[in-house]
Structure formats: structure tokens, C-alpha cells
Chain A
């Protein structure tokens, strides 16, 4: 009984992949490269244009002073709009984040697949897709008509826009918390709430923070709902109810459609300011996302 002759394994060198594979590979790589450039091109052009046109008017004065009394006048800035945006986005965040995170906890830890949870998920998805002007119209009809324009009305509209983003992004992050960690907590005699507060939320916190910051960035840039709920103002307003108040996107919108060069210049600088704010929040979101686990 003789062992079969070992199969010749062949040589490793001198074997080229077929031309079809080589060219397919090159073509595919090129197509992806072109697509990436095309995607980045508009972003780059926007950044370039805003920087180019905005930097001329951007100054310490612009950042710290309110608008002049006429679009025609040179000078002044968007400080009033910055204050308005800070107040309204702050209020909206204070409402939307706790509500959204609690709703997401309900979805993942309590409701799971019951009817209410399914409904919340469905309407959150619908809400994410609703054009923001509808949200503005709703708040206008429900709150502005009886109570007048004001920061609270704008904040309400922004909160409604932020809520589904916070709910769904938080839910996704909570779902990523490993089953083993929750089991460990339950096996130690923790209830659902204790497990959520002490294990699930801390593990998901970086991801939740990312979602919240992206929602904040989105709210800071919203224009349409504010037109209908806060109207805009040229002076610094800190009243929460009963007084029209400005916001950066509103001020940009007003300045840009004014027929005067000074107003348009300010709008470009305002756009640059808003862009930087959104950029900062997006960067913070990236930093938060990269710290997904506590350091070793």
C-alpha cells in the first residue's frame, strides 16, 4: 500500500491576475474616487464662498454688537441673533434631550415591541421627514396666534424638530449596549431602572452625546419654523414670551434678501458665524463618538 504522490502545489511567483481583474479593479477605484470628489465639491465650494464673502465683514464688532436700525447702514453685527439662537436652541435642548432620551429608554428597555413602542418609532420616523415649515405652521397656529411671537414659541418648534432625532439616535445607541452587560446587572439583582441608569446609559453616553450634538447643530440652522414663530428683531431680546426675537438663520435670511449691500455683507458674515458654530458642534460630536468606551 503506497501513499499517493503529493500534489504539485505549483509556484507562487510569476502568476499574474487576469487583465479583466486588473482593469476592473482600476476602473472601480477610479469611479469611487470621482464620486467622492463630486460629493465633496459642493461642500468645498460652500465653505470657500462663505469664508471668502464672510471674512470681509467678520470682526469683533460684528460678533459683539446688535444690528443697526437699517439694512442700509454699515457696521453693527448679529450679536442679537446669536443671543436669540443661544436662548432658543438652549431651551429646545433642555426640553428635547430629557424627553427624547427617556422615550428612547422606554423603546429599548421597557416597550420593546409593544404597540405603543411601535407607534412611537413610526411617528418618530414620520416626524424626521416632516418639512420643518410644517412644524413652524403648527406652532404658529397652536401657540403664536393665542400668545404672540416669542423665544418660547421658536424653542417649541426647534424642540419638535430635535425630538425625533434625539429619540432615534439614542435608541440606536442603547441597542448597541451588549446583552451580556445587562444580564450581569440583572443577575446581581438590579431592576430595569437601576440597570438602565447604572449600566446602559453610561455605556451609551458617548453615542447619545453625538446624537444630541447633531440635533443641536440641526436646530441651530433651522430657518423656516422661526420665520413663523419668532419673526425676528434687530435689538437684543432676552424676554422669553411676547416679544419677537432674532436668530442667526433668520438674520441671515433677512439680510440676504434686503436690497442693500451692507445688509447682504452682514448676512455673509452671519453665515460664516453660523457655519463655525455648526462645525464646532459637529466636531464635538465626533470627539464624543470616538470616546466610545472609558479609557483603559
Chain B
């Protein structure tokens, strides 16, 4: 897929970029390098001081109790928080070494590289075909659209189920099919990363398993970040896990999310370093 030579901002030279981010941990450059990330909504803190790395062709899970800022965090990776009035992001989110919040970076460019799948399946009220072709069309795709649609649907493990109803409304599909359609729609723009914000929480167990299998397939080609409040799901599918937790300032009446622990999924679930992580993964709260 994409090498780390992609440039979101033409005017940053390689040397300048090299001096910006910390050196990646394991030789292979990180897809995302997050340092000291914080988010405020209308002046109130929602997320504070998050630092983690997302590695290529891995599934990184973000877990934690409700309201701990999981969705806020994942929406920082493709600047979806820009769409929320009053949202302010501080700290650094480096994508292949480039700060996606730098002044010269257009969020539209960021989102074409970094796809997203949402909690509730949200196909457009258009045909199955038009849903998948949407991203390519707005990007002025000149290639064979039929081929692209078929390839994307195949990669999303949906082709066999919808090939006879490509011209039918996507709203007629089942919830699980709609969600896989949304995944097909996201991969049709050939992104580098796919962000999934609780992609299976609105689905039944069988549809959930299909999405999880699909994620394992997609991992071969894409880097995936998934938010989930289902710990078993995180343990099943992910390579690395970030555990977020809520901190409360009783005096100020404020609460915000912090990153408690980040590491290999097996470590987080079997040898957590932090007491709060241990309590959470062992089901003592949340």
C-alpha cells in the first residue's frame, strides 16, 4: 500500500520532518505517533495527555468504560473532531511522521488516506453500487468503476450476498450487511488506515463474528484502529490495546479520559501493569 513517503504537506522537507517526531520504537515506522494528545469540547476537557503508537498492518484496540473518550480519541486520527463546534485538539498526531493538525494540512486530504467506519451502520440512502462508488466519484476516480465496486465488495466479504442487488437501495440490507457495505465503501477509496468506532456494537453476535473475521483479512493490507467496549472482542482481534479510563475532578465537576496503559494485547489482558487495567479487564467494573 502506501509507503512512508506520502506527503500531506508539500512544504515540509524531509529533514524538518525527521526532527519532529520521536524515533519509532521497533525500526518499522509507526503509522500514527500520538504525543500528549488532548481534546477539549467548548473549553471542557474530554481527553488528556494520550501518547501511543499505531503500527502498520496491525489492529490497535481502544478499550475503556463508557464516556472515557474512546470515540473522541479515534476521531482525532482523521480529524473528524473538526466537525464538532467547539472541539479543540492539542498535542501531536503524526501520521507517517507528519502532523495532521499542522497549519497547511487539509482535513479532506487526511480523511482520504484514513477511512472510518461508524458505530451505527450509516449507508447513504442510495443503491449498494452508489454507496461503494461514492468515495471514488468525489475523488474523481477515472478507472473502471464496476471493477472497483466489485473488488471493494469482495474485500469486505459482501460481494456474493449483494451482487444480484447492486442497484437496490442499501437500506434494504440487514444491519450486518450494511456495516460490511460501509467497510467496502471505506476501502474503495484505497485508504492506508481504517478507523472503526465500535463497528459491531449495533450488530447481532453472528454479524459481529463476520466483522471480526473481516478485520483479520483486512489487517493484511491496512492498519486498523478499533474502538470497542467489548473486552473479549479486543482480546480476540487486536495486536495492541490501549486502555482509557475516566479521571474525575470532583472540585471542578469535570471528568476526562486518560490513557492508563498501552501495550501488547496479551500483556494488557494477562499481565496488566496498572491496577485499574487489571480491575477493568477482569470485569470488576465497566
By a beta-carbon cutoff of 8 Å, the part of chain A in contact with chain B is 112-113, 178, 180-191, 194, 198-199, 202-203, 293-296
Q: Mark B89-130, 1 if CB is under 8 A from A, else 0.
A: 000000000000000000011011001101010111110000
Which of A112, A185, A188, A203 lies in contact with B125, CB distance below 8 A?
Answer: A203
Given contacts A188-B112, A189-B189, A190-B138, 12 further A-B contacts (CB under 8 A): A112-B85, A180-B120, A181-B124, A183-B116, A188-B115, A188-B134, A188-B135, A189-B139, A190-B134, A191-B108, A203-B124, A294-B169
In the complex, A187 Cα to B80 Cα: how many Å?
7
Q: Does B186 contact A (CB under 8 A)?
A: yes
Interface-centre pick from A186, A202, A295 (highest chain B CB count, 10 A): A186
A295 and B186 in contact (CB under 8 A), knowing A187-B78, A191-B108, A194-B138? no
Beta-carbon contact of A294 and B126 below 8 Å: yes
- In the complex, chain A residues whose CB is within 8 Å of the CB of B109: 189
Is A185's CB under 8 angstroms from B169's CB? no
Contacts of B83 in A (CB 8 A): 182-183, 186
**How far apart are the CA atoms of A186 and B115 in the complex, in Å?**
10
Which of B124, B137, B169 is in CB contact (< 8 Å) with A295?
B169
- Cα(A191)–Cα(B108), bound, Å: 6
Contact-residue bracket for chain B? 20 to 34
**CB–CB B125/A187 < 8 A:** no
Q: In the complex, how many residue pairs between chain A and chain B have their CB atoms under 8 Å apart?
A: 75
Cβ-based interface call for B171 (8 A): yes
Residues of B contacting A180 in the complex (Cβ-Cβ under 8 angstroms): 118, 120, 122
Q: Which residues of B41-94 are within 8 A (CB) of A?
A: 78, 80, 83, 85
Contact A187 B134 (CB under 8 A): no
| B180 contacts chain A at the CB level, 8 A cutoff | no
Say how far A116's CB is from chain B's closest CB, in angstroms: 16
Closest-by-CB residue of A relative to B117 is A187
Would A198 and B134 be within 8 Å (CB), given that A187-B186, A188-B115, A189-B111 are in contact? Answer: yes
CB-CB under 8 A for A186 and B80, given A181-B124, A294-B125: yes
Question: How far is it, in angstroms, between the C-alpha of A188 and the C-alpha of B139 when the chains are bound?
Answer: 9
Please report the C-alpha to C-alpha distance between residue A190 and residue B185 in the assembled complex, in whole angstroms. 13
Q: Is the CB of A189 within 8 A of B138?
A: yes
A188-B185, A190-B108 known; A198+B138 contact, CB < 8 A: yes
